[in-house]
């Protein structure tokens, strides 16, 4: 393996988000020992990853949304327009994607996105009944943003894989010539 191939392989490994792969492999039935053998990760690292799964919980999402929506109108009886009447889910999703704290939740990974039930429960825990339109807007926006984040992650993974394959093909061609 050449230096360029090794660097490309390391970049592909970093792009794949190893924590997600370890979690997914373990949930699929791969033992901790087998994960260690395949990846070379220390067992303590594997334990840390599995003890603190990257999947966002309802509580983490609700806590994030409390901050994100802090400036949204709260007094509907004063006839203030709701966010749902002023913005689309796509517009709110774009605002979410620009927010580093949202990105840190990692709702959309190259492996998956959360289901609507988790997002709805997080939003409903945040908003009282009069704000159901805003709740629906937030759920739609969270799903759109997570799906877009999922697609971005998949594109990075595939770009890394293509880079490694291209480097290997170049090295193979050079060794044959």
Q: Which residue is associated with the tokens 């660097």?
A: 7
For the segment 98-148, what is each residue's pLDDT rounded down to a tens digit?
Answer: 988 888 777 877 667 777 777 888 888 776 666 667 777 888 898 899 899
Residue 11 in tokens: 């970049």
DSSP one-letter code for 57: P
**Residue 44 CB-half CA count within 13 A:** 0
Q: What is the pLDDT of residues 89-108, one digit of tens each?
A: 899 999 999 988 888 777 87
Confidence tier at 56 by pLDDT (50, 70, 90)? very low
Say how far apart CA 162 and CA 126 lie, in whole Å.
42
Q: Could you tell me how far CA 130 lies from the centroid of its own chain? A: 30
- In this model, does residue 13 exceed pLDDT 80? no
- Domain spans, the chain: 56-176
Please report which helix (H) or strand (E) contains residue 10, including its range: helix 3-15
Q: Evaluate if residue 150 carries a pLDDT over 70.
A: yes
Tell me the percentage of the chain whose pLDDT exceeds 90.
6
Distance CA 50, CA 126 (A): 28
CA-based nearest residue to 125, from 64, 77, 75: 64
Contacts of 143 (CB under 8 A, 6+ apart): 89, 113, 116, 119
Whose CA is closest to 33, among 49, 21, 47?
47
pLDDT tens for residues 81-91? 778 778 898 99
Structure tokens at 174: 């050079």
Tell whether the torsion through CA atoms of 33, 36, 42 and 45 is positive or negative.
Answer: negative
């Amino acid at each position: 393996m050449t230096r360029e191939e090794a660097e490309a392989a390391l970049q592909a490994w970093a792009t794949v988000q190893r924590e997600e792969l370890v979690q997914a492999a373990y949930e699929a039935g791969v033992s901790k020992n087998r994960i260690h053998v395949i990846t070379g990760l220390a067992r303590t690292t594997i334990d840390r990853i599995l003890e603190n799964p990257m999947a966002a919980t309802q509580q983490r999402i609700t806590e994030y949304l409390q901050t994100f929506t802090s400036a949204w109108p709260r007094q509907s009886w004063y006839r203030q327009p709701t966010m749902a009447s002023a913005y689309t889910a796509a517009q709110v999703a774009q605002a979410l994607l620009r927010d580093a704290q949202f990105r840190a939740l990692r709702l959309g990974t190259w492996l998956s996105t959360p289901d609507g039930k988790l997002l709805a429960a997080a939003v409903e825990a945040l908003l009282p009944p009069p704000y159901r339109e805003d709740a629906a807007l937030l759920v739609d926006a969270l799903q759109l943003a997570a799906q877009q984040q999922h697609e971005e992650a998949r594109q990075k993974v595939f770009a890394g894989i293509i880079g490694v394959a291209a480097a290997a093909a170049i090295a193979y061609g050079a060794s044959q010539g």
